[in-house]
Amino acid sequence: MKDNIIIQIITRLLVPFIQVFGFYVIMHGESGPGGGFQGGVILGASIILYVIVFGIDEGRKLVSEKINDICNSTGVLIYGGVGILCMIAGGKFLEYNILPLGSAHFASHMGMLGIEIGVGMTVAAVMVTLFIETARQGK
Amino acid sequence: MSISQHFPVLVIILPLISAVLIPILSRAKKIYGWYISSAATFISFMISLSLLRTVHVKGKISYWMGNWEPPWGIEYVVDYLNGYVLVVISFIIFLITLYSNKSVDKEIPEDKVSSFYTIYMLFVTGLLGMIVTGDIFNLYVFIEISSLAGYALIAAGRKRDALIASYNYLILGTIAATFILLGIGYLYMMTGTLNMADLRERLPALYDTTVIRTAFAFFSVGLSLKIALFPLHIWLPNAYTHAPSVIGALQAATATKVGVYVMIRILFTVFKPEFILEVIPVAKLFVMLSAVAIIMGSLLALGQKDIRRMLAYSSIGQIGYIVLGIALANRLSIMGSLIHVLNHALMKGGLFLVVGAVIYKTGITNIDDYKGLGKKMPFSMAAFTICALSMVGVPLTAGFVSKWYLALGALQAGKWVMVPVILISSLLTAIYFWRVIDAIYFQGHEVSGKIDDAPVGMLVPTFALATCCILFGIVASVPVNITNFAAKMLIGG
Amino acid sequence: MKSLYIGLVLITGLALAYGTLDMPNFGDPNAPANHHVAPRYIEKTHEETGVENMVTSVLASYRGFDTFGETTVIFTAGICVIFLLRESGTGKKKKRTK
Amino acid sequence: MIEFILAKYNYWIYITLMMIGFYAMIAKQNLIKKIIGMNIFQTAVFLFYISIAKVKGGTAPIEWEKAVRYDNPLPHVLILTAIVVSVSTTAVALALIIKIYKAYGTIEEDKILEMNK
């Protein structure tokens, strides 16, 4: 699909919207259907679409292998970090209410948002990894 | 607010965080992967010791994730049983991690070493998580973490057969895990809870429903597949034979033991002992299966040429011993099982580590080629001999203690038939190990060229395991006392 | 060999069907699964965690550690695939032997 | 009898799916087909979990003023985890198959076993 200008332009137009939607789904998980996994997969799909249209090498320019690998780990680290912050704040692991952020509800919101972002990051990065590493074998 | 109250979760979080950090940090230097793994497993071992001590002093520890009280939240429980298993497993893992550095450098391509240690630590995380959790669905999640990591680690073997071994393990492992998941679903559907202690309270009223019985059947099949009980063992020999030697040792010494622990949990904590003894008498079936496993494992080990395959079949026999003790379900037999979990982990770990050292130095895996190694690698072979003696069950070695308690348990349960089974199997074990010992010490020097003993980094962990084999044979009171408490807790009396 | 497989599958199917006999009907509000633990998630989610989506509250808060495990599983899969498939320049000298 | 069967129709569906998947997993020679079977097998269990969460007249478990009853949220959470596990297993399995294909040149199990002899 490297020569088809229509597909290329449409992809370039679509990818940002898909990504915004992905972020929306991650952030919106608390009040509607959605959450880190679903949003993460949507985010990953946007990059996968880009890779399908422009090829692996172009895709790797967008998300380099190094950044991809670091994102894999960072997501889990954010999740674990939120849990450990709760422990440092004097609660149990993942006890968001205890975080010193004003009201307990707000702290709980922020804690959940934090872990959803972590989950989304790992899921998106791993989806891209899975696709690119597998697709590369076809060469 | 001391940090020690968080130990039940830290013992899992530390390996996990280290696993996540390895791909980032080892970009700078490859060796960091090993440093981080060793440090994390050492700290986990120390935490486990502290947990066991706390259990001994203060009684059962319960940790509520997110401070949600069970059964609404996930509870982590440490009592005598899993405190003991935790110490055993984390100790063995620590020694194997210490040993791994050189062996991994030789057997894994250089650019994959950091991913290797990441997966290694994830595997460790999965195993430790399975031990500490008190929530049955959380158990499934950790089973899957350790299984997934295990598939990839086995596939890292040098020969292409490793790929097929790993694939078959993946298929059977997934069947097992899905059966366990289905069993969990059945229990949840009938009780509305996922907490193990809560299930124990609510299940007896439902023992005669078909749902609970089917759930039990699926748990049994799934767990038997995971621990490779005799007719379901087909994945194990290939997996152990073709895996990298460190992973062979790790799988043989820890993975099946944790599976056995999970089995004990399901049989005696989630279900009560009455269920397998009286409500549906599957205990008899397990006794028969384990007797067959003990004999067949030893018989099949006799005919093997590859030493790793011989050890793998021997493992199948040893799993039979452990399941036998569980199925007899009295205090002495369960003590025997639990002591054997420790002993077999020490002995098999030690044997696989020696085999790994031989592969590191010479690449030999065939028993016939071991001729004359006794003079070339005297220290490694001495460790091998000690572990082999312990496997046979010679008095004053650890292997004797567990077999003694198993035999006592069999007599107490009125199953005296099992005593000759244990004796015959010991004899067979002596025969198949004699082949190796004979080749090592009493046959000509056919290994040509200059071969010296394994490096110190490999010898120290190997000797630590071999020493423990002797130590726990002479000072048997330590494991005996702890397992006595654990067995009392499980079945009372 | 094929009959063995069919036999195994049939045994599994029969065991599953046997288990179904005592199961509650589809959509039964009185099924035990909907009592005991679940009502608190439905009634108290807003009060205790401040979010409207009960699935999210259970996922992220009540059973947050499961989700941590789940993220780890995904991470494991990613690293496993990298470990198995990625080939960079330096790795080629030690090739898989037959 | 008929009523008994109809009232539990969700279970019969998942049992059928599970048997199909299980058969494909153990009997098929093609490694990819085994993975397809594995996915059907696991999906059957997901269907079982989701169906026990259903309550007659219940809506999705998100707070809504018009709701009379909510479905049980817990199985949804559990199965979200199990789906992720299934995806991960499939990914690792496919990666293994790629490596097997590169090492053996085939993905038929019987041929591979012959080569290994």
Inter-chain touch D91–A130, beta carbons under 8 Å = yes
Interval B58-86: pLDDT, tens:
989 999 988 888 889 999 999 999 999 99
The CA distance from D98 to the nearest CA of chain B, in Å, is 10
List subunits contacting chain A, requiring 3 or more Cβ pairs under 8 Å.
B, C, D
User: Which D positions 74-93 lie with beta carbon below 8 A of chain C?
Assistant: 74-78, 80-81, 84-85, 87-89, 91-92
Inter-chain touch A95–B67, beta carbons under 8 Å = yes
CB pairs < 8 Å spanning B and C: 134
Residue with tokens 């959790």: B133
Q: Does any CB of chain D come closer than 8 Å to the CB of residue C14?
A: no
Interval B34-61: pLDDT, tens:
999 999 999 999 999 999 999 999 989 9
Nearest Cβ partner for B66 among A70, A77, A93 = A93
- The backbone torsions φ and ψ at residue B396, rounded to the nearest 5 degrees and listed phi first, read 75, 5
Asked whether A96 and A112 are in contact (CB, 8 A), the reply is: yes
CB pairs < 8 Å spanning B and D: 71
Task: Give whole-number Cα distances, B325 to A71, B153, B336, B454, B493, in Å.
Answer: 47, 31, 6, 37, 16
Residue A1's pLDDT is: 64
Residue C91's pLDDT is: 38
d(CA D58, CA C54): 14
**Which residues fall within 8 angstroms of residue B278, CB to CB, at 6 or more apart?**
none
Residue B414's pLDDT is: 87
Q: Does any CB of chain D come closer than 8 Å to the CB of residue C11?
A: no
List subunits contacting chain D, requiring 3 or more Cβ pairs under 8 Å.
A, B, C
Identify from B10, B18, B24 which residue to disrupt to test chain A contact, counting A C-beta atoms within 10 A and taking the largest count.
B24
Structure token digits, residue A37 = 């996994």
Instruction: Name which of A93, B48, B255 is nearest C68 in CA terms.
Output: A93
Domain boundaries defined on chain A: 5-136
User: Which C positions 45-74 lie with beta carbon below 8 A of chain B?
Assistant: 61-66, 69-70, 72-73
d(CA B481, CA B488): 11
Using an 8 Å CB-CB cutoff, list chain C residues near A75.
71, 75
How is residue C62 annotated by DSSP?
I
* Chain centre to alpha carbon of residue B286: 19
% of chain D with per-residue pLDDT over 70: 100
Asked whether B209 and C22 are in contact (CB, 8 A), the reply is: yes
CB pairs < 8 Å spanning A and D: 14
The CA distance from D80 to the nearest CA of chain A, in Å, is 9
For residue A97, give the 3-state DSSP assignment. Answer: helix
Interval B276-325: pLDDT, tens:
888 888 888 999 999 999 999 999 998 888 999 999 999 999 999 999 99
Q: Does any CB of chain B come closer than 8 Å to the CB of residue D16?
A: no
Nearest Cβ partner for C64 among B66, B160, B215 = B66
Nearest Cβ partner for B64 among A87, A92, A96 = A92
The CA distance from A6 to the nearest CA of chain B, in Å, is 39
Residue B446's pLDDT is: 59
Nearest Cβ partner for B166 among D78, D85, D96 = D96
Structure token digits, residue B106 = 């030789």
Nearest Cβ partner for A134 among D60, D98, D102 = D98
- Asked if the model's pLDDT at residue B444 lies above 90, the reply is no
Residue B449's pLDDT is: 62
Residue B378's pLDDT is: 86
Nearest Cβ partner for B175 among D25, D81, D88 = D25
d(CA B246, CA B83): 25
- The backbone torsions φ and ψ at residue C50, rounded to the nearest 5 degrees and listed phi first, read 80, 15
Do strands D58-59 and B61-64 pair parallel, antiparallel, or not at all (unpaired)? Answer: unpaired
Residue A43's pLDDT is: 94
Task: Give whole-number Cα distances, A65 to A133, B401, B440, C37, C97, in Å.
Answer: 10, 54, 49, 44, 28
Identify from B171, B180, B191 which residue to disrupt to test chain D contact, counting D C-beta atoms within 10 A and taking the largest count.
B171
Nearest Cβ partner for D91 among C41, C42, C77 = C77
Which of B3-12, C14-23, D34-43 is most confident?
Answer: D34-43
Interval B201-243: pLDDT, tens:
899 888 889 999 999 999 999 999 999 988 888 899 999 999 9
d(CA B132, CA B129): 5
Terminal CA-CA length for chain C: 30
Using an 8 Å CB-CB cutoff, list chain B residues near C40.
72
Asked whether A129 and A72 are in contact (CB, 8 A), the reply is: yes
Range in B280-289, C54-63, C87-96 the model is least confident about: C87-96
Average pLDDT over residues B7-34: 89
Indicate the pLDDT class of residue B447, thresholds 50, 70 and 90. Answer: low
Interval B333-368: pLDDT, tens:
999 999 999 999 999 999 999 999 999 888 888 888
Residue B199's pLDDT is: 92
Nearest Cβ partner for B167 among D45, D48, D100 = D100
Average pLDDT over residues D10-29: 92
Residue B416's pLDDT is: 87
Using an 8 Å CB-CB cutoff, list chain A residues near C65.
93-94
Instruction: Name which of D14, C20, C41, D44 is nearest B193 in CA terms.
Output: C41
Residue A138's pLDDT is: 77
Residue C97's pLDDT is: 43
User: Which B positions 61-80 lie with beta carbon below 8 A of chain A?
Assistant: 63-67
Indicate the pLDDT class of residue C93, thresholds 50, 70 and 90. Answer: very low
Inter-chain touch A32–D95, beta carbons under 8 Å = no
d(CA B419, CA B410): 7
Query: What integer best gives the mean pLDDT of chain B?
Result: 90
Average pLDDT over residues B102-127: 91
Task: Give whole-number Cα distances, B338 to B55, B65, B129, in Å.
Answer: 17, 28, 19
Domain boundaries defined on chain C: 37-85
- Asked if the model's pLDDT at residue D16 lies above 80, the reply is yes
Q: Does any CB of chain C come closer than 8 Å to the CB of residue A126?
A: yes
- Asked if the model's pLDDT at residue A97 lies above 90, the reply is no
Average pLDDT over residues B130-148: 94
d(CA B48, CA B42): 10
Residue B18's pLDDT is: 93
Interval A117-130: pLDDT, tens:
999 999 999 999 99
Residues for chain C: how many in total? 98
List the domains of chain D with CATH numbers: 2-116 (1.10.287.3510)
Classify residue B239 as exposed, middle or buried by CB count within 10 Å of its CB (0-12, 13-18, 19+): buried
Residue C96's pLDDT is: 45
Using an 8 Å CB-CB cutoff, list chain D residues near A130.
91
Interval D29-65: pLDDT, tens:
999 999 999 999 999 999 999 999 888 888 888 888 8
Q: Does any CB of chain D come closer than 8 Å to the CB of residue B333?
A: no
Using an 8 Å CB-CB cutoff, list chain D residues near C29.
55-58, 69
Indicate the pLDDT class of residue C90, thresholds 50, 70 and 90. Answer: very low
* CA angle A130–D81–A91, rounded 5-degree value: 110
